[in-house]
Structure 1
Amino acid sequence: MTFAYPWLLLLIIPLAGLIIYAFKRRKPTVIISSIKPFSSVAGAGRASLFSNLPLLLYSAATAILIVAAARPQRGIEELMQRAEGIDIMLILDVSPSMAAYDIPEKYTTGKEVANAINAGKIKNRIAIAKEEIKKFIENRPNDRLGLVAFSTLPFAACPPTLDHGWLFAHLERLDAGSLGEQTGIASPISSAVNRLRNCESKRRVAVLFTDGRNNVNAQITPIQAAKLAKTFDITIYTIGIGSRRSYVVQDGFFGKQLIPLQDEFDEKLLKDIADTTGGRYFTAADEEGLKKTMDEIDKLEKTSVEQPRFVDYRELAQPLIITALILILAGFILSATWFMKVP
């Protein structure tokens, strides 16, 4: 509880002094030889005992009126959040190589690697990418995010939306090898640009995840697609996924086998795409690397949020004034009847 005029409460100090003076002030007296003639008067004892009751009522009423004049208030605070979101398109490679496993250096033997994969300690690239993308989306509740999957051809899985639950559902359905055998980078960039170019937000971003080289002859090249993005003021971050210790699991005559994966992403192309649009290029050799990369992009692309503070005050003076008036009325009635003094 707060007071609009707290300095008025200082008036209680002189009021307390007046009350003390009134109670200690010596009342006029008449010296008589005996009070026996007055002992039979009805209510004489009670009048003597409660003679100060009206004064107490008036004093309490005055104190309450002083508190009411200070305007006691109870505030209910409301924070109105205004967020200026960013439109982001996530471009995810789902070519067959995204099913590969990038083996951390701490695993040195085939048996250790097989045991780690079976235990879920090592996940394939597509699983890691989907997991980190989910975390990225969860950290950006005010941003509209969309998804383009690609391999040989692009697939616009989800337009930019604030319905992140819907986006999660589309992301979960994606799997490595579901859209062909090759890797075409130009078309998915163009698809993302097409989705972002008419968005009204001040900041528009695309994040490209890939582990392979562009090997699809499209109508435009990846660099031309990047220049198109720049035309619409769209920034592209590129992420090269994979390491030199990457393997794919294949079924052989003696069961599942780990086959080394020779193909790598085109680092120069990914750098050029990012540089063309004013973005940045990142590498993610394993799960930890991709996590750090997504955290870095999350820091680079911050949503601006304003939080104006509103306080709705409820005035508490009215019931105090009513209470004070009741006390004054009670004191007046008692003074005029029960405690009436005859000159």
Structure 2
Amino acid sequence: MIYTVTSRFGDVWKRSFRVNLWRAVPHLWAVALALFSFAAARPRAGNEVQKIYTEGIDIVVTLDISSSMLAMDFKPNRIEAAKKEAAQFIAGRENDRIGLVIFASKAFPQCPLTIDHRMVLQLLKQVKVGLIEDGTAIGDAIVTAANRLRKSKAKSKVIILLTDGRNNTGRVDPVTAANAAAALGIKIYSIGMGTLGKAPYPVQDAFGRTRYVPMDVQIDEQTLKQVAEVSGGEYFRATDSEKLHKIYQQIDRMEKTKIEVKKFKHYRELYAIPLFLGFVFMSAAIFFEYVVVRPIP
């Protein structure tokens, strides 16, 4: 008797479970169709990507480090004022390759063209009067700077030449050197550095004491103008630190880096996810309807 009741209860439970599955089948089909419809709509996820293309300029800063650069008509003196303004200029040209040439009686490449501005600034910081035998070889300085740019593929190649004197040594005439640079497509911005008249210059006496002697400011402006003119550049005269700062600002505006911005959207297709889930629900519906449940009598 107990077996019969238990058996009947089991039959009732199985029948009830199958009925519930049968009722769930339409819902499974509905979910499957909804997922197929969503997949057919081709859902995508994406974000806007911005690419920036820069066309940098190659610039060689060419700095006079002869003894006259110790004159104090600039604060604290010419060489330190020149280094300060050059450093600010370099720091603002983040898309350009910068090189550094120093000169007195001879010219030396202090730093090759590089995008690593930290290295350029570090080497510029080490520049001081006395590293090279005294003199002013402007022509040799232009040739050395032009050699840094000779193999450059940049569309704009520039030499910024800063000096406080006149060419009194070296193997190459400044204008001849400027013509050679122009033939290579190099533009020269020349800067004459020094006040008008006389400037205080530090001199040590026999006892090692420093005194300041007024000395004539002798800048060969005619040559510097020719150097700039034949190369398609421009000549500037800096009579104090403020004027030198404005000159570098003007050069910065004149030589702008070309920047091209391109925007596009990158998409990732997501239809595979609802398509897969749709097949899962459809398979479940078919399995429950034709295998598990079967037609209920």
Q: TM-score band (shorter)?
A: 0.7 to 0.9
| DSSP 3-state at the match of 1:324 | helix
How far is 1:164 from its partner?
3.8
Per the alignment, residue 273 of structure 1 pairs with 227
- 1:223 equivalenced with 2:175 (yes/no): yes
Provide the secondary structure at the position in 2 that maps to 1:152: coil
What's 1:110 paired with? none
Secondary structure of the structure 2 residue equivalent to 1:102: coil
TM-score (norm 1): 0.70
How far apart are residue 238 of structure 1 and its match? 0.8
- C-alpha distance in structure 2 between counterparts of 1:57 and 1:261, whole Å: 99
With normalisation by structure 2, the TM-score equals 0.79
Counterpart position of 2:3: none
- CA distances 1:257-300 after superposition (whole Å, capped 9, x unpaired): 44434314233332222112110122333333323222221222
Deviation per residue, 1:206-250 (Å, 9 max, x gap): 11011223333x444322222222222211001122324843344
Given that 2:199 and 2:217 are in contact with CA atoms closer than 8 Å, whether structure 1 keeps it comes out as no
The correspondence for 1:73, drawn from 44, 47, 50, is: 44
Equivalent residues in 2 for 1:1-343, closer than 5 Å: 42=13, 53-75=24-46, 78-102=49-73, 122-216=75-169, 218-244=170-196, 246-251=199-204, 256-309=210-263, 311-336=265-290, 342=296
Residue 141 of structure 2 aligns with an amino acid whose one-letter code is P
CA contact 2:149–2:157 (8 Å) conserved in 1: yes
Unaligned runs of 5+ in 1: 1-39, 104-121
> Runs of 4 or more off by more than 6 Å in structure 1?
43-51, 337-341
Q: For residues 296 and 326 of structure 1, do their structure 2 counterparts lie closer, same or farther at Cα, with a shift above 3 Å needed?
A: same
SS in structure 1 opposite 2:145? helix
1:111 is aligned to: none
- Identical amino acids, percent of aligned pairs: 36
Work out the number of aligned pairs and report it.
285
Structure 2 residue runs without a partner (length 5+)? 1-10
Quickly say closer, same or farther: Cα 1:49–1:266, change in 2 above 3 A.
same
- Report the RMSD for the aligned CA atoms in angstroms: 3.3
Moved more, 240-249 or 315-324: 240-249
Amino acid at match of 1:239: I
Moved more, 315-324 or 80-89: 80-89
Distance 1:304 1:202 in 2: 10
1:315 maps to amino acid: E
AA partner of residue 187 (structure 2): T
* Deviation of 1:144 (Å): 3.0
Distance 1:301 1:277 in 2: 15
1:32-51 superposed Cα distances (whole Å, 9 cap, x missing partner): xxxxxxxx954788889887
What SS is found at the alignment partner of 2:216? coil
Describe the shift of the 1:265–1:56 C-alpha distance in structure 2 as closer, same or farther (beyond 3 A).
farther
**Separation in 1 of the partners of 2:86 and 2:28?**
71
Instruction: Tell me whether 225-234 or 81-90 shows the greater mean CA deviation.
Output: 81-90
Q: What does the per-residue CA deviation read over 1:39-79, in whole Å, with 9 as the maximum and x for residues that have no partner?
A: x9547888898875433332222222222122222336555
Q: 1:317 to 1:45 in 2, by over 3 A?
A: same
